A and B are shown apart, each in its own frame.
Chain A
Amino acid sequence: MRIELEVNSVTYALDVEERTTLLDCLRDALGLKGAHAGCEHGVCGACTVLLDGVAVRSCLIFAPQAEGSAITTIEGLSPSPGELSPIQDAFCETHGMQCGYCTPAMILVAYALLADNPSPTREEIVEAISGNICRCTGYAQIVEAIALAAERIRGANRPLELRK
């Protein structure tokens, strides 16, 4: 089936099987490997992408369903090759990861949270990431990363903008 997907502000014309999930489409058809398969049944959250700025599980969306939406993956967050965005840098500062498998998803969730709520409390951060499982960190350094990112973004010149 022929579909058109807008991913990280670029529109792609693709030919995919109807049953291909958005996750598999991003990874296999577009070579965007940052979204990861952890369970493929919508529990672990490692497949998270932003759909029109909202964090969703890409393993639970069939690719044709995503037509007409603006999809943002982790690859769309780096300002330029080799350069880290404030949230990505904050995760490096607090070591908010270990194996890195859940990390792109956590960062996207953080992005969506901070775009909506620039000054989240610790509880709000914990709640925001509660749909993403991490087996390595016990979450503390991830929460610290998001709090640090919030603080830095609040103090920066440019507000957090999502490319729509």
Chain B
Amino acid sequence: MSAGHHRYVATNRRVREDRRFVAGKGQFVADIDLPNMKHVALVTCPYAAARIKSIDKKAALATPGVHYVLDGAELAAATLPLMTGLDTPNVPRRPLAFEVARYSGEWVAAVVADTRALAEDAAEAIEIDYEPLPFVLDAEQAIAPGASLVHEPHGSNVLLDKTFVWGEVDKDFATSPHKLSLRVKWARSSTVPIETFGVVASWDPWSDILDVYASIQMPRYTDQIGAALKIAGSSVRVHYDVDVGGSYGVKRGIKHTVLCGYLARRLGFPVRLIEDRLENMRGGDAHGPERLFDIEVAFDNDGIVRSMKMRALENVGAYAGRSPFQLGKPIGAIVGPYKIRSVQYRAMAVVTNKTTQEAVRGFGQAPTNLAIERVMDEVANVLGLDPLEVRRRNLIRSDEFPYQIPSGTTYDSGNYETVIAKVLADTSYDELKKERDRLRAEGNLAGIGIAACLEPSGGNATFEALLNPANTTSTFMDSCRINVDGLGAITATMHTTSSGQGHETLVGTVIGEVLQLDPDIIRVTRPDSLNSLPSGTPVASRMAIMLGGAAFHAAHKLKMKLTTIAAHDLGIPMERAVYERGEVYDRNAPDKRRSWMDLVAIAHRNYHRMPQDFEPGLAVEHIYQVPTGGTLPTKDGRVQMYPCFSFEFHLLLLAIDPDLGVPEILRYRLGHDCGTQINPKIVRGMTLGGIAHGIGAAFYEEFAYNDDGQLIAQTFMDYLLPSSQEVPAVDIIDHETPSPHTVLGQKGSGESGYLGAPAAIANAVNDALRPLGVSINTLPLKISKLGDLIAEAQAKKG
């Protein structure tokens, strides 16, 4: 419960997974070679929208080494459409386009050949007759009258249009002296891991099992594979010991998996699809949010924001994916860390003829934070107040927790003023302002950017029920199993893949903490899905809380079992039995003790010495429910969403070359509070990585399309990822306000840095441009855009 003194938790232990990675012995999906395995290459649609009139496979099939060509019609006849969370039966999504292709790059046919190179050769030989169709790319155009329909049977381009009103919004607006509206655009970018998505599927007709090895980060993966292929979940064996080369949300790969699963069953040999970078960028369906915010706030003369109206318009792409739900999750922190008392929120998800999106780090929180933080800065600007002062006046105070926000979620704990104070003790705000002013005096544009925002963590699927009342899910569990074998060795299992978060280390550390044993002696393995307990997988910044919680409770059960066995064997009541570092002794007579090996022997071999009706052996498990979960939304759309809320405060100084528009971050400080840090090195690494992601989204990254609906940023030459040169040194100042809901006081940190960096950077850029009387509210803040904006403003000033 508290961040008290720990033996192993909160110490800088090595991350055990690192050992295999530095040796090049990670097991990534492309490293897996199965006998007789064949390779897939995709044929993609070149048009933004087109009817598929005919597919001529003859030349491809005649190519040596080619085994099969699969088209959308065959796949549609044999499988069910992929699951979507919304109730939109007329917007089916399939691995291969069926009758109509709806974005440039959509997969239309799959070639199976002896090698990837041969599959690509054959893919070129496939002749497809397309009839180009009208298309729409912009979300606002897609909802305007007369727009071409991406899915004719659906009747419109709107997948979701839901408005929530929490509190007395109209009254608060009417009674506030000031109002301010702003339009903020988060351009289409994504997490773009260096490893693309890949899957190997192999069907054994003798045991009726489909083996799946994939670079996967996805809840309900086995469910969705089984559903689409029309086989039982118990016929799907996903191997969780595949190392995933980065995901940060996007590696859902369900269409790739259904495609390969079908081919493996159909063809009788293992089938492998490793996306190449072009397939990934255009048709991997791993794009991130493209969101337009229209936000309006009502505030008083002191800068206290009383009410907020927000319309979030999301350009989902051609099919639903997880995108619409990224409009729902931010509801759980819709007012950020502020005491805004009423909110109107309109969530609109719209289809266009662009690549489908997938879940991206933060699940919509980062774009929402950008909108809120830009508005807070503009409130300060309008009133002539310091932006940090405006934050202070609006922030929830530490004595106000637990704090319930208008949309029904209660924030567990926080101490925002202390985090900010710590940052400012490290870096004087006044000194920073002086430095900014000095840079300005030298002829530069310079600005200070701040952002204060929350990381909802722990996961809970209730945003699904908010956006689709037919979905009544009120849990998002995780699990851990521990077995001590006949010779006393401890093995714990976790039941999902990981993509660099150090979960094996997490489990070992937590179990070691509870059992008071060196975590390094605790083996942590990942069984496959048929040997696993349920897991929500590493999404939603949940694993420290949920896997940590499951491991903690399982370890505690084991400790209790050991203590009970010892007490019984020592002939003492439980209250006198003391567990210490794997041994149990009589408090009144410490020499009377049972060692670890004694207890193992009793449990495994000497049943006659066991307490009555006890199970033999030393095996325990725990399946952990989301703390504060278990409820569904009320009729007016209020619900407890996530259990825990971490806090981050960004403070940076930025200069812009006025002639060239080139921005440079000169100083970056982050105050970070995620409660107890189970492994500080892991947390620091994730936060710094999140900031780098945020820098990419703020300055460099965009999936840009031309007017013909072609993705023009399809390689790494045009989609620009930050290198070591683009990420400045960042100082992180930690604070720990434990969560009352979690076993060790830990909160999540998987999204830290990314959630606030784009907002802080956007605020810094706007502060830098303020003397010119211009502002910019569209990401990415590209050099050319900044340069043009500055030049225009200077020309006006004469």
Chain A contacts to B: CB under 8 angstroms = 17, 19-20, 27, 31-41, 43-44, 46, 73-75, 78, 84, 88-89, 91-95, 97-104, 107, 126-127, 129-143
Contact = CB atoms under 8 A, between A and B. Distances in A.
Interface string B19-30: 111111110101
Contacts of B243: 99-100
Contact of B245 (A20, A34, A99, A126): A99
A103 B22 contact: yes
Contacts of B781: none
B692 A84 contact: no
B22 A138 contact: no
B17 interface: yes
Interface string B709-742: 0000001110001111101011000000000000
Given A17-B117, A40-B276, A135 B22 contact: no
Given A40-B277, A92-B14, A103-B22, A135 B194 contact: yes
B17 A135 contact: no
B666 to A, nearest CB: 15
Contacts of B23: 34, 74-75, 78, 84, 88
Nearest to B681: A95
B582 interface: no
Contact of B500 (A37, A100, A126): A100
Contacts of A136: 246, 500, 685-686, 689
B690 interface: yes
Nearest to A129: B724
Q: Which of B21, B25, B246, B502 has the most CB of A within 10 A?
A: B21
Q: Is the interface of B mostly helix, strand, loop or mixed?
A: loop
Contacts of A143: 724
Contacts of B685: 95, 98, 136-138, 140-141
B15 interface: yes
A127 B725 contact: yes
Given A135-B192, A141-B684, A104 B24 contact: yes
Contact of B28 (A31, A36, A39): A36
B18 A100 contact: yes
A92 B689 contact: no
Given A75-B23, A98-B682, A137-B688, 13 more contacts: A19-B117, A34-B24, A38-B194, A46-B194, A75-B24, A84-B23, A95-B14, A98-B686, A100-B21, A126-B724, A134-B194, A138-B690, A138-B753
Given A91-B18, A135-B248, A136-B246, A99 B193 contact: yes
B483 interface: no
Contact of B688 (A41, A133, A140): A140
Interface residues of B, number: 59
Contacts of B682: 95, 98
Interface of B: 14-15, 17-26, 28, 30-31, 33, 117, 191-196, 243-248, 274, 276-277, 499-502, 681-682, 684-686, 688-693, 715-717, 721-725, 727, 729-730, 753
Contacts of A37: 30, 274
Nearest to A76: B24
Contacts of A78: 23
A41 B716 contact: yes
Nearest to A81: B23
A143 B15 CA distance: 17
B445 to A, nearest CB: 25
B721 A92 contact: no
Nearest to B193: A135
B194 A130 contact: no
13 contacts: A33-B28, A34-B25, A36-B30, A39-B277, A41-B277, A99-B247, A103-B26, A107-B22, A135-B191, A135-B192, A135-B193, A135-B194, A138-B689
Contacts of A140: 685, 688, 727, 729-730
A88 B26 CA distance: 14
A91 B277 contact: no
Contacts of B727: 138-140
A97 B22 contact: yes
A110 B481 CA distance: 40
A73 to B, nearest CB: 7
A90 to B, nearest CB: 9
B688 A100 contact: no
Contacts of A27: 30-31
Contacts of A20: 117
Contacts of A127: 724-725
A130 B724 CA distance: 5
A33 B194 contact: no
A43 B688 contact: no
Contacts of B21: 97, 99-100, 103-104
Contact of A91 (B22, B30, B193, B693): B22
Given A44-B194, A95-B18, A126-B724, A138 B24 contact: no
